[in-house]
Amino acid sequence: MPTEERALIRLSLPSKGRLAEDSFQLLEECGLKIYKPNPRQYAATIPALPGLVVLFQRPGDIVSSVRDGSVDFGITGLDVVEEFKGPNQDILILHEALQFGRCDLSLAVPESLEGVQSMLDLQVYASRLPSPLRVATKYPVLTTQFLNQYQIPHTLISAEGTLELAPTIGYADIISDLVSSGQTLRDNRLRPLPDGNILHSQAVLVANRKALQENPQALQVAHTLLEYIEAHLRAAGNLAIFANIRGESPEAIARLVSEKPTIRGLQGPTISPILSQDPTTKWFAINIIVPRAELGQAINELRSIGGSGVVVMPVTYIFEEEPPRFKAMLAALQPKA
């Protein structure tokens, strides 16, 4: 049912597998916790997003549903989006990097093919075969596009499940599959080609273009989703630090801070007077955000300018004036001149 005939906006999440748990967790961390009263139920709700129903589908099916408009939004892998999105730009990628489900779609050859170490070697190898190179994959569109760039004649062997066995069994010469740690390839005596990387993938948020154009409620949901996802991901790698520093004035402290690369921040520190009981010493509170990986350095720098009572807290959200990806989405919805 298209979006304009439905009372509820639909968001599809992966029902099982690698992306399922992380999608659930991402929304929870964004303050958009999913309420699923019964684990076997196919639908759920997000109390913070009334007017929206959450559906659970296989990652590839999410792309088909968002593409045909039966579902308005989806979280799934970029690999399946690129494979199944079709030619008509029915699908818009609203957030291209949700920071989980990272893997590469890659060409891999049997370890025994010692002469094939690069795409050029593969070209030569394929040209000497009596028939087109046989490539086993679940990604025919992306794989063919890539091999065509190298003008390698090939036939695609479609396979469900254990693709990695195809070369050993003998029904394919090479494979094109997802790789993350590389363990599955190693276990099957396969080796990825360093320049045979077809696509870097991770989880993305997608939407149906027409729903965004025609349903103001869908536009509102897009805004909320992007607002919280962006603010959360922006915050995730940072820590908030509060510390007390003795000094003459906020300006004097700001001068000391400005010489320290980690704590000086982008727009400069927030410094406020502490209304101390002791009139002989002036105390100030400094308030900064630093990348998690630079915490040790930040504490050293604070100490070196007389900081004490350092309190460190996680950051839940960092909101900017408008979510940049929402603006980008509005621009992408404009008809091309």
Ligand X SMILES: O=P(O)(O)OC[C@H]1O[C@H](OP(=O)(O)OP(=O)(O)O)[C@H](O)[C@@H]1O
Ligand Y SMILES: Nc1ncnc2c1ncn2[C@@H]1O[C@H](COP(=O)(O)OP(=O)(O)OP(=O)(O)O)[C@@H](O)[C@H]1O
Residue from 30, 59, 73, 192 touching ligand Y (CB under 6 A): that is 59
Q: Which of 89, 112, 149, 180 is in the footprint of ligand Y by CB under 6 A?
A: 180
Choosing from 201, 208, 238, 262, the residue that interacts with ligand Y (CB under 6 A) is 201
Stated as kind and residue range, the H or E segment containing 133 is strand 133-137
The interface region with ligand Y, picked from 99-107, 149-157, 166-174, 293-301 by CB under 6 A, is: 99-107
Q: Please give the residues from 118 up to 177 whose contact with ligand X meets the rule CB under 6 A.
A: 161, 177
Residue 182 binding ligand X, by CB under 6 A: yes
* C-alpha span between 259 and 22 (Å, rounded): 40
Cα gap 282→274, rounded to integer Å: 8
State which of residues 18, 36, 234, 260 lies at the interface with ligand X (CB under 6 A): 18
Beta bridge partners of 156: 135
For residue 58, state whether it binds ligand Y (rule: CB under 6 A). Answer: yes
Q: Which is nearer to ligand X, 13 or 241 (CB)?
A: 13
Least CB distance from residue 17 to ligand X, whole Å?
A: 6
- Encoded tokens for 211: 């729903």
User: Shortest distance, CB of residue 182 to ligand X, whole angstroms?
Assistant: 5
Sign of the C-alpha dihedral computed for residues 86, 88, 92 and 97 taken in this order? positive
**What separation in angstroms does the CA of 79 have from each of 198, 209, 214, 317?**
10, 19, 27, 28
Helical H runs in the chain? 20-29, 59-68, 78-84, 119-127, 140-149, 166-169, 183-187, 209-214, 216-236, 250-258, 295-304, 324-333
For Cα atoms 83, 87, 91, give the angle at the middle one, nearest 5 degrees: 75
> For ligand Y, which stretch binds (CB under 6 A), given 4-12, 96-104, 225-233, 235-243?
96-104
Closest approach, Cβ 85 to ligand Y, in A, equals: 13
How many beta carbons lie within 10 A of that of residue 185, not counting itself?
Answer: 19
Residue from 180, 258, 308, 316 that binds ligand X (CB under 6 A)?
180
Least distance from ligand X to the Cβ atom of residue 138, Å = 8
Binding residue for ligand Y, selected from 71, 178, 222, 239, defined by CB under 6 A:
178
Chain positions contacting ligand X, by CB under 6 A: 18, 161, 177-184
